[in-house]
Amino acid sequence: MYHPKPYQKCEMPEFSGTLGVLVLNGSLKHKSESSNTEELAELVIENMKSHSEIDYEIIRLADKNIPAGLGFKESEDDEWPKIAEKIKKADIVLFASPIWWGGRSSLMQRIIERMDAFDEEYIHGGRNTLLNKVAGIVITGSEDGAQATLSSLMSMLTFMNFALPPQCAAYWVGEVGQDPKDDRERRLKNKAVENMAKTMARNLVFYAKLLKDHPIIEK
């Protein structure tokens, strides 16, 4: 099981530029509604700021038009190609999802399906354009399923070429059978989750900085 640990500081690698951070939030709610998943992702972002200059964007997938399909562009108003561009530019990508019956949301799953077309579009790159990027995962749910959800994402991410630093994930899940109305309140009181977010932020930034100066360069 996850053992809570106090947060510990560390020296950062030398890189002093700005890191690009992209959050893909698979919440089923639109931007106008508050999202537990987004709030936890924001906490990670906040903690990153103490380690580096960052330039970040949070995309609420529920507000985007991302049709099902196998192509790089599925329709005239398909917003996936723009998101794909942003993934390509980011140094750190956070995959943030609520849990629905033991798995990621349909919106997060859609993104994963569409990422399969990376290879087709970028003939001179494909998934290799994702090499030297760092991935992090944020999961929230009323109860159960966080580790199943994040572990399945991890296996996809490693084969997509992302680097996964130690403690690359933060999650909150409550006790089974509680009233979901209090989820937010219980999450905010949870000290272990706060420390997970801090350590995760530290390690994501550490690895992103390190890989800026020491990337894997294929030839």
**Span 10-69, contacts to a copy of itself by CB under 8 A:** 10-11, 13, 28, 62, 68-69
Residue of 59, 167, 201, 208 that binds a copy of itself (CB under 8 A): 167
List C-alpha distances in Å: 143 to 103, 199, 201, 207.
Answer: 12, 23, 24, 31
Residue of 4, 17, 81, 125 that binds a copy of itself (CB under 8 A): 4
- What is the sign of the dihedral through the CA atoms of 141, 146, 152 and 155? positive
Residue of 52, 78, 172, 201 that binds a copy of itself (CB under 8 A): 172
Residue list 80-99, contact with a copy of itself (CB under 8 A): 99
Residue of 44, 164, 197, 204 that binds a copy of itself (CB under 8 A): 164
CB of 186 to a copy of itself, least distance (A): 7
CB of 78 to a copy of itself, least distance (A): 14
Residue of 51, 60, 110, 198 that binds a copy of itself (CB under 8 A): 110
Interaction between residue 101 and a copy of itself (CB under 8 A): yes
Interaction between residue 143 and a copy of itself (CB under 8 A): yes
118: left (phi over 0), alpha (psi -120 to 50) or beta: alpha
CB of 189 to a copy of itself, least distance (A): 10
DSSP 61: G
CB of 192 to a copy of itself, least distance (A): 2
Q: 168: closest CA among 128, 133, 219?
A: 133
Q: Is 188 exposed, middle or buried (0-12, 13-18, 19+ CB in 10 A)?
A: middle
Interaction between residue 208 and a copy of itself (CB under 8 A): no
Q: 55 or 208: whose CB is closer to a copy of itself?
A: 208
Angle subtended at Cα 113 by Cα 107 and Cα 118, rounded to the nearest 5 degrees: 125
Residue list 178-197, contact with a copy of itself (CB under 8 A): 178, 180, 186, 190-193
Residue of 32, 76, 159, 181 that binds a copy of itself (CB under 8 A): 159
List C-alpha distances in Å: 148 to 139, 141, 188.
Answer: 10, 12, 22
The β-bridge relationship of strands 92-100 and 18-25 is parallel
**Contact by Cβ (8 Å): 67, 100:** no
CB of 132 to a copy of itself, least distance (A): 8
**Contact by Cβ (8 Å): 23, 83:** no
